[in-house]
Every structure is written in structure tokens, then in C-alpha cells.
């Protein structure tokens, strides 16, 4: 028996698939991704129109959170923090909202699908190397993969050491988007599977009132754990993204 509750927006998925499915493959996660994008855009417009010179209420909270995220960016990305902040801020909002929306019964978290997480990880990967090369130049950027060989003298280039280090670093760079995406995907998929199993248990025990309290007692605990996982996984993804891009673009890192 499948533990996952029915998808509430299944009719919308079918309608969208009927309209553009012949050009773009459509599934529930794509529809949820577009829905979250619309929510973010609409919320951004509403918040922008309601901004005040003297912040109050929600605006105060948002400014505090933005300032804290920017401070974290400065610590990890240095002078490039403000340039990359829109990307990091977008990741934070999108991932957190995607994670949390999966807690709603009948809805799916886009981050519980590997296609979503690998797409974001590829953006981080391309940004890391594109801006790293732009900042340092192609030759200098490639040489930094052989650290600490450049400081050992010209003779080291006559040995296999720098070329072996370059290959090892290259494998590590290729692995980064996979580890970044799989970590988020696995944690979100397992969390929502746990919630689905809990919902199934609740239904199965519904006819046995003597045992009804067992799944009911677990609901607050699992929901609290789910919310915590949503925030932690968002923080980890954004933090690692800052580290990867910061290491590639800061001159004083190597």
C-alpha cells in the first residue's frame, strides 16, 4: 500500500500536461515548482509595495534575516558577497519554501525530487567555475587545482605530483554538485516518506480507537522534526554554496 497521500493538484498537473506536455515533460514536482515561483513573485511584489522607511512588524523581521544572511555571505565570500547575495537569497527562499510546503498533506516538496536539487547544484557548479575563471584568469584558476605545488618551485612541475593533485581536485569538483543535490534530495524525500507513513498509520488505526493515540501522539513530534529538517537542510545547501563560490573567487584563499 502506498503511504503517500493523494496529490491535491493532480487535476492541475493533468491540465498543464495536456496544454504543453508535447513540448515539455510535466509532472507533479514541476507544477509545484512553478506554484512556488508564483508565490515568491507575488509575495515579493506585495512586500515591495508595502515597504516603509521606518520598518515595522514583518518588514523588521525580514530585514534582520536579510542582514544576518548578508553577514554570513561576507564571512564566506568576502568582497564578492553583495554580488552573489541575490543568488544566495533566492536559493534560501526557494529551498525553504519548497521544503516547508511538503509538510502540507496532499502537496509535494519540489526538493524531494532529484531533478530540482541537481538543477540548483548545477547553477552553483557553473557559477563557481565561471566566476572563478573570470576573477583569476583561466591559467591561474587551473593552477590553483595543483596547490601547494606552485609554492614549491619550478622543479615540482617535472614530477607527477602537480598533475596527480590536479586530477584529484578535478574529481572532487565534479563530485560537488552530486553530493550537494543528493544530500538535500535524500533528506527531503525521507522526511516526506515518514510523514506519509504516519498518515497511513493514522488511517489504519482509525477503526481501532484503543490504538488511535499512538499515531496521534507522534504527529506533533514528526511535524516539529520535519520543520527543523527543512531549516537545517536549507542552511546547509546555502552555506556550502557560499563556501564553494567563495573559495573559487577570493584571491586570498589560495
Q: What is the pLDDT of residues 191-201, one digit of tens each?
A: 767 766 766 66
For residue 172, the SS3 value is helix
What pLDDT is stored for residue 2 in this prediction? 45
Successive 10-residue mean pLDDT values, the chain, 254 residues:
64 82 83 92 85 75 86 88 92 94 86 93 94 87 77 71 82 91 89 68 62 63 82 93 90 51
Quote the pTM value.
0.83
What pLDDT is stored for residue 240 in this prediction? 94
What pLDDT is stored for residue 237 in this prediction? 95
Whether 73 and 85 have beta carbons less than 8 Å apart is answered as yes
Distance CA 56, CA 54 (A): 7
Amino acid at each position: 500500500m502506498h503511504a503517500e497521500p493523494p496529490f491535491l493538484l493532480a487535476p492541475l498537473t493533468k491540465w498543464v500536461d495536456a496544454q504543453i506536455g508535447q513540448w515539455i515533460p510535466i509532472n507533479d514536482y514541476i507544477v509545484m515548482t512553478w506554484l512556488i515561483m508564483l508565490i515568491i513573485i507575488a509575495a515579493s511584489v506585495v512586500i515591495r509595495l508595502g515597504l516603509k522607511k521606518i520598518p515595522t512588524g514583518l518588514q523588521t523581521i525580514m530585514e534582520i534575516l536579510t542582514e544576518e544572511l548578508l553577514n554570513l555571505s561576507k564571512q564566506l565570500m568576502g568582497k564578492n558577497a553583495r554580488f552573489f547575495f541575490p543568488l544566495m537569497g533566492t536559493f534560501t527562499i526557494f529551498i525553504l519554501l519548497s521544503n516547508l510546503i511538503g509538510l502540507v498533506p496532499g502537496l509535494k516538496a519540489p526538493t524531494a525530487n532529484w531533478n530540482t536539487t541537481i538543477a540548483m547544484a548545477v547553477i552553483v557548479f557553473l557559477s563557481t567555475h565561471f566566476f572563478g575563471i573570470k576573477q583569476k584568469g583561466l591559467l591561474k584558476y587551473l593552477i590553483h587545482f595543483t596547490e601547494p605545488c606552485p609554492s614549491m618551485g619550478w622543479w615540482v612541475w617535472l614530477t607527477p605530483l602537480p598533475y596527480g593533485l590536479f586530477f584529484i581536485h578535478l574529481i572532487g569538483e565534479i563530485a560537488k554538485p552530486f553530493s550537494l543535490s543528493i544530500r538535500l534530495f535524500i533528506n527531503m524525500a525521507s522526511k516526506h516518506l515518514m510523514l506519509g507513513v504516519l498518515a497511513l498509520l493514522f488511517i489504519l488505526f482509525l477503526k481501532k480507537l484503543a490504538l488511535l493515540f499512538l499515531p496521534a501522539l507522534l504527529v506533533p513530534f514528526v511535524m516539529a522534526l520535519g520543520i527543523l529538517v527543512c531549516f537545517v537542510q536549507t542552511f546547509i545547501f546555502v552555506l556550502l554554496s557560499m563556501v564553494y563560490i567563495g573559495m573559487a573567487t577570493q584571491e586570498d584563499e589560495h
